[in-house]
Amino acid sequence: MSYSRSEAVDRLRSVVEAVETEPMPVPVREVWAFGDVVLGMDPIDRLGVYVTKDLLFDDAPERGADFEAELGVSGVGKTVSAAWADAYPEHVRANASGHAAPERCLAAHLFGDEPVHLEVCNAGFEHNVTQRLKGARAREDYTQLLDPRAACLWVDTDGGGETSETAFEKLEAGEFVFPTLSASLAMLGLEEPVAERAAEELRRYRDGAEGVEVRGDVV
């Protein structure tokens, strides 16, 4: 499956609309697009979406046993919303230990089986870009970098949300202008030869990835 540019932009609009109007497993504060969709590609094999969320603690912990008996997943009402799970039990997802995983729940709710690289973190996109870069430098493994070339599509404001129509217009027209990946990484502080190597490693990793890829971070 792939998206035309117009299909990809429409799909991102529907994601923003869902975040703004539907119950979510955790509170969402920002929605960003990154990767091929902001780089002017057409068609687009996978959407790249970054969601900034709030941590949820003890939403309705007294209901956890009921959800565990019904769905076989622990932690509902603690790490994901009980009200959301009531409305969307088919989207409740767990991690390998059987505990409700906010990032997987968001992926199931917003994308289902569609090809997406979804990043979910309690920190904003720009902050997490730098944190992931620090970790990659320490490990000398650049496959898990966040591509810093991105566009903010929606931000939670007090009592509501604000959609960036300018960002959507640029996505539709393919008008975002970004430096190369290596140049972007160099602007973040990587020495030029290292930035070139990091960009190549990330490109190879990204070229080999397909389908649904979901990552949850706590920074």
53-85 pLDDT tens trace: 998 776 788 888 999 999 999 999 999 999 999
Are 47 and 8 in contact, with CB atoms under 8 Å apart? Answer: yes
Give the mean pLDDT of the chain. 94
Full-model pTM:
0.95
The residue type found at 31 is: V
Q: Three-class SS of residue 111?
A: coil
The band of 159, judged by pLDDT with boundaries at 50, 70 and 90, is: low
Closest residue by Cα to residue 15 from 35, 36, 30: 30
**46, amino acid identity:** R
Q: SS3 string of 21-73?
A: HCCCCCCEEEEEEEHHHHCCCCCECCEEEEEEECCCCCCCHHHHHHHHHHHCC
Give pLDDT tens digits for 35-56.
999 999 999 999 999 999 998 7
Tokens for 137? 């430098």
Q: Packing angle between helix 165-173 and helix 5-21, nearest 10 degrees?
A: 160
